[in-house]
C-alpha cells in the first residue's frame, strides 16, 4: 500500500539522520495538528476539503440534515476548525474532527492546532478511531485488551513525536483498512448544480472519481468498495432524456461495485431497466423483485436473472457480503404500466432469508445491506442483528450514521449527488473491529476527473439541441421546494394544474387533481425552454379525463392530505376548486369550493383531469384507479379521455405556447390561495 510504504520510507530516512538531529526533531512535543495528520494516515481517511464562504467565518459547521428532503447549505460545507483554515493539515484535521476521533474546543469553533497532546489523549484518539468513534463503549479498555498499548501508557505526560509515530507504526503492522464509499438517491444529478441557498456549487460525479482514485492508490483496488443505495438512473432532464444511459455510463466509470433497485428505478419501463442492467459493469441487486406468475419471459425464472440478491467481495482477508432489498410497496410510487409484469416479495421477510444465507452458508465476516426501504430501513437493521452496515436508501437524510441494535450502522448518505460517505472498516489481526464514518460534501473544493466529466458532458450535449428551444415566456420566479408542493398552496403547482385543465377544456373538464410529488423544479422568470418544462415535470405521466362523483373527489382529497405535515408526494394540488382542511390526528377535510363559488356536491358528477399515476391508484388514490387491476379498482369512475404518450409536461408546454409571448409573458396571481390549512 502506497501510504504505508511512504510511512516506512519516512521512518528509514529519519533513522539515517544524525542522532543529534533526530533528538531535536522527534523528541519535540506532539501538537494537535500533527496528531490529526498521524491519525488521518493511520486510518486511511479521505481528505475533507471545506468550502470558504463569506459571512460564515464564525458559524459552527453542521454535519448534514436530519429532515427528509432537507438540503445541504453553507453550514454543512464550511470548515469546522476555524483556527486551522490556513494550515496545510486542514483536510486531515477536518477528517478526524468530522469523524469524531478528535474534538473541537468548547466553543465548537477552535481546534487549537499548536496545543500539545498527552499520551493518554493520543491513546484515546487511536482507540476511538480503531473501534469506532460513533459507538458508546470503553475504547481505551478495548485497546488495552487487544494489546494496542498497555495501561502504563495512559499518563498525562506530553507525548513526543517519536513516541506517537512509534505507536502508529506498530499498529500499522497489525491493521488493514477496507474503505467502503456510499452514495444514494442520486436521482439523475450527475452534473454540478447550485446549492439551495445559492452560495456554492455542489454535486458532480466526476468529483467522486478523484476521491476514489486516491484511496485506490493508497489501499489497492480490492480494499476500496463503492456501493449505492438506489434511485440513481432517472428524475432529471439529462437522465430522463437519455433513458438512464448517462447514469450507467457514469457509474461504470466510477467503478461502482453494486447498487440496489430503488422505487424510482421503476420510473421507466421494466424493459428499459433490464437494458440498463445489461450495460452496467456493476451489480444491480434486488433480492425481492420478481415476475408475477405467468408474466415472466419465455425461458426466464420467477426472479429476473439480471438482478441478483447479493455479491461477495474479498478485501483485507475479509469476506464481505453485500445484498440489495427493495421496498415492497414500490408500485405505489410509479406508473402502473412500468410494474405490470412484476411484484415484490415482502421486503423484511426476504431480507431475513438472504442474511441467513450470507451468514450461515456464505460465512461472511461483514454483511452490508443496500436497503431502499424508506421508513422501514431502521426496522430492517433491528430485525437482522447480523447486518453490520446498512445504507438507508430513500431516507434522503445526510449526516452522521444512526447506531442501532448491536452497534450496527445505518448510513444516512444524502441525495442528489451532493455527498459521498466513507465507511472505513478497521481490520485488526484479520478481524473487523470497528468503523469510522465520514461524509464528504461534493463542492467545488474537490477537483473533477476529466474523463468522467467528459462522459457526462457528452450526454448533456446530445439533449441540448432538443431541449434548449424557447417555447414561452414567464414574468415571475416560481419557486419550488418539497415543502412548497407537498404541504401547502404553491404558485408553480397552480400553474401546472391550470395547464392540465386548459388542455382538456374542449372536453368539458371542470376540475384537476395532481400529486404534488410529481412537480420537481422551479421556473425562473424570462424565456421558458423545453428543458425547464421537463425539469418541472420529469415523469412520463400520461393524462386522463374522468367523470366521477363529488364523494369520490372528497375521498381523493382526504387521501391526499392524510400524511400532512410530512412532505409526502401524494399531497393534492388542484385547479377549478379550493379546499380547506383542519390539521390534526387525523387531518380532516372541511370544505371544497368550486371556482364558481358553489360547494362540491357529493352526488353530483364532475369531469376531472388526473394523471396516469393517480389513475393507476398510486400514492393510495385507489378510489381513482381505473388502470391497475392488481389493486382495488375504482367503482365510481368513468374513463372519458386517456391521452397516451402525451405527458403532463406536454400540456404545460402547450399552455406556454398558447398563452404567452415575448410581449405578454405569463403572469399568475402569486397571492391566490387554493389550499387553506386550519
Which set of grid coordinates corresponds to residue 116? 500539545
Transcribe 584-629 into DSSP letters.
SSS-EEEEEEETTSPBPPTTSEEEEEEEHHHHTTGGG-GGG-SS-T
Q: What is the pLDDT of residues 280-338, one digit of tens each?
A: 999 999 999 999 999 999 888 999 999 999 999 999 999 999 999 999 999 877 767 78
Alpha helices in 204-260 (DSSP H): 205-219, 237-241, 245-254
Closest CA to 634 of 649, 620, 655, 651: 620
How does 258-287 read in b/e, with b if 16+ C-beta sit within 10 Å? Answer: bbbbbbbbbbbbbebbebbbeebebbbbbb
- Low-confidence residues of the chain: pLDDT under 70: 1-26, 68-69, 335, 644-645
What is the pLDDT at residue 17? 43
Beta strands at 366-372 and 389-392: parallel, antiparallel or unpaired = parallel
What is the pLDDT at residue 26? 64
Span 175-459: which CATH code? 3.60.21.10
What is the pLDDT at residue 649? 94
Q: What does the domain layout of the chain look like in residue ranges?
A: 26-47+68-172, 175-459, 468-677
What is the pLDDT at residue 645? 63
In Å, the largest CA–CA distance within the chain is: 98
- What is the model's pTM? 0.80
The residue length of the chain stands at 678
> Counting beta carbons within 10 angstroms of the beta carbon of residue 289, is it exposed (0 to 12), middle (13 to 18) or buried (19 or more)?
buried
- Residue entry with cell 439533449: 463
3.90.780.10, 3.40.1010.10, 3.40.50.2000, 2.60.40.10: CATH of 468-677: 3.90.780.10
CB 602 within 8 A of CB 589: no
Angstrom CA distances, 384 to 79, 182, 349, 406, stand at 37, 21, 10, 10
Q: What is the pLDDT of residues 100-158, one digit of tens each?
A: 999 999 999 999 999 999 999 999 999 999 999 999 999 999 999 999 999 999 999 99
Closest CA to 368 of 181, 134, 98: 181
CB 569 within 8 A of CB 530: no
Mean per-residue pLDDT of the chain = 93
CB 171 within 8 A of CB 414: no
Amino acid at each position: 500500500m502506497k501510504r504505508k510504504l511512504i510511512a516506512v520510507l519516512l521512518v528509514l530516512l529519519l533513522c539515517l539522520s544524525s542522532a543529534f538531529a533526530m533528538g531535536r526533531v522527534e523528541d519535540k512535543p506532539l501538537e494537535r495538528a500533527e496528531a490529526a495528520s498521524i491519525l488521518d494516515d493511520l486510518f486511511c481517511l479521505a481528505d475533507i476539503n471545506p468550502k470558504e464562504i463569506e459571512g460564515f467565518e464564525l458559524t459552527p459547521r453542521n454535519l448534514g440534515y436530519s429532515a427528509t428532503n432537507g438540503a445541504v447549505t453553507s453550514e454543512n460545507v464550511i470548515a469546522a476548525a476555524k483556527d486551522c483554515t490556513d494550515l496545510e493539515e486542514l483536510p486531515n484535521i477536518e477528517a478526524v474532527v468530522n469523524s469524531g476521533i478528535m474534538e473541537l474546543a468548547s466553543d465548537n469553533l477552535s481546534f487549537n492546532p499548536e496545543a500539545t497532546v498527552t499520551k493518554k489523549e493520543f491513546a484515546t484518539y487511536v482507540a476511538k478511531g480503531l473501534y469506532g468513534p460513533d459507538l458508546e463503549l470503553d475504547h481505551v479498555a478495548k485497546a488495552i485488551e487487544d494489546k494496542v498499548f498497555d495501561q502504563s501508557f495512559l499518563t498525562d505526560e506530553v507525548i513526543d513525536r517519536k513516541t506517537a509515530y512509534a505507536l502508529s507504526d506498530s499498529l500499522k503492522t497489525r491493521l488493514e483498512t477496507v474503505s467502503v464509499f456510499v452514495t444514494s438517491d442520486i436521482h439523475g444529478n450527475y452534473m454540478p448544480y447550485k446549492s439551495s441557498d445559492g452560495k456554492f456549487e455542489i454535486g458532480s460525479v466526476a468529483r467522486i472519481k478523484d476521491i476514489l482514485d486516491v484511496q485506490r492508490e493508497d489501499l489497492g483496488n480490492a480494499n476500496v468498495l463503492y456501493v449505492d443505495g438506489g434511485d440513481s438512473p432517472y428524475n432529471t432532464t439529462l437522465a430522463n432524456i437519455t433513458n438512464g444511459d448517462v447514469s450507467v455510463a457514469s457509474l461504470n466509470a466510477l467503478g461502482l461495485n453494486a447498487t440496489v433497485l430503488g422505487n424510482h428505478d421503476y420510473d421507466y419501463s421494466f424493459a428499459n431497466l433490464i437494458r440498463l442492467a445489461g450495460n452496467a459493469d456493476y451489480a444491480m441487486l434486488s433480492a425481492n423483485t420478481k415476475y408475477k406468475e405467468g408474466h415472466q419471459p419465455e425461458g426466464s425464472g420467477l426472479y429476473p436473472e439480471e438482478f441478483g440478491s447479493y455479491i461477495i467481495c474479498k478485501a483485507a482477508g475479509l469476506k464481505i457480503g453485500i445484498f440489495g432489498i427493495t421496498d415492497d410497496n414500490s408500485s405505489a410510487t410509479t406508473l402502473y404500466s412500468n410494474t405490470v409484469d412484476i411484484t415484490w416479495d415482502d421486503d423484511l421477510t426476504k431480507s431475513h432469508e438472504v442474511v441467513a444465507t450470507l451468514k450461515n452458508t456464505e460465512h461472511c465476516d461483514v454483511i452490508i445491506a443496500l436497503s431502499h426501504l424508506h421508513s422501514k430501513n431502521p426496522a430492517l437493521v433491528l430485525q437482522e442483528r447480523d447486518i453490520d452496515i446498512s445504507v438507508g436508501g430513500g431516507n434522503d437524510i445526510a449526516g452522521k450514521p444512526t447506531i442501532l441494535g448491536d452497534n450496527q450502522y445505518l448510513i444516512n448518505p444524502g441525495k442528489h449527488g451532493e455527498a459521498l460517505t466513507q465507511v472505513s472498516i478497521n481490520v485488526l489481526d484479520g478481524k473487523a473491529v470497528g468503523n469510522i464514518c465520514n461524509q464528504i460534501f461534493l463542492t467545488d473544493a474537490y477537483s473533477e476527473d476529466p474523463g468522467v466529466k467528459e462522459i457526462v458532458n457528452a450526454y448533456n450535449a446530445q439533449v441540448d439541441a432538443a431541449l434548449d428551444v424557447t417555447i414561452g415566456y414567464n414574468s415571475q420566479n416560481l419557486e419550488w421546494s418539497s415543502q412548497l408542493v407537498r404541504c401547502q398552496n404553491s404558485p408553480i403547482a397552480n400553474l401546472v394544474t391550470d395547464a392540465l385543465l386548459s388542455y382538456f377544456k374542449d372536453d368539458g373538464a371542470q376540475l384537476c387533481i395532481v400529486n404534488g410529488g410529481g412537480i420537481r423544479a422551479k421556473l425562473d422568470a424570462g424565456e421558458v425552454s423545453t428543458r425547464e418544462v421537463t425539469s418541472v415535470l420529469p415523469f412520463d405521466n400520461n393524462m386522463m379525463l374522468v367523470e366521477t362523483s363529488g364523494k369520490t373527489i372528497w375521498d381523493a382529497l382526504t387521501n391526499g392530505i392524510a400524511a400532512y405535515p410530512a412532505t409526502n408526494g401524494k399531497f393534492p394540488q388542484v385547479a377549478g376548486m379550493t379546499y380547506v382542511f383542519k390539521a390534526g390526528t387525523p387531518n380532516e377535510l372541511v370544505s371544497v369550493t368550486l371556482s364558481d363559488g358553489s360547494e362540491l356536491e357529493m352526488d353530483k358528477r364532475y369531469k376531472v383531469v388526473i394523471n396516469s399515476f393517480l389513475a393507476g391508484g398510486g400514492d393510495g388514490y385507489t378510489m381513482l384507479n381505473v388502470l391497475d387491476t392488481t389493486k382495488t379498482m375504482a367503482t365510481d369512475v368513468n374513463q372519458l379521455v386517456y391521452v397516451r404518450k402525451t405527458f403532463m409536461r406536454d400540456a404545460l408546454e402547450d399552455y406556454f405556447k398558447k398563452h404567452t409571448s415575448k410581449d405578454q409573458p405569463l403572469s399568475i396571481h402569486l397571492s391566490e390561495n387554493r389550499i387553506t390549512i386550519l
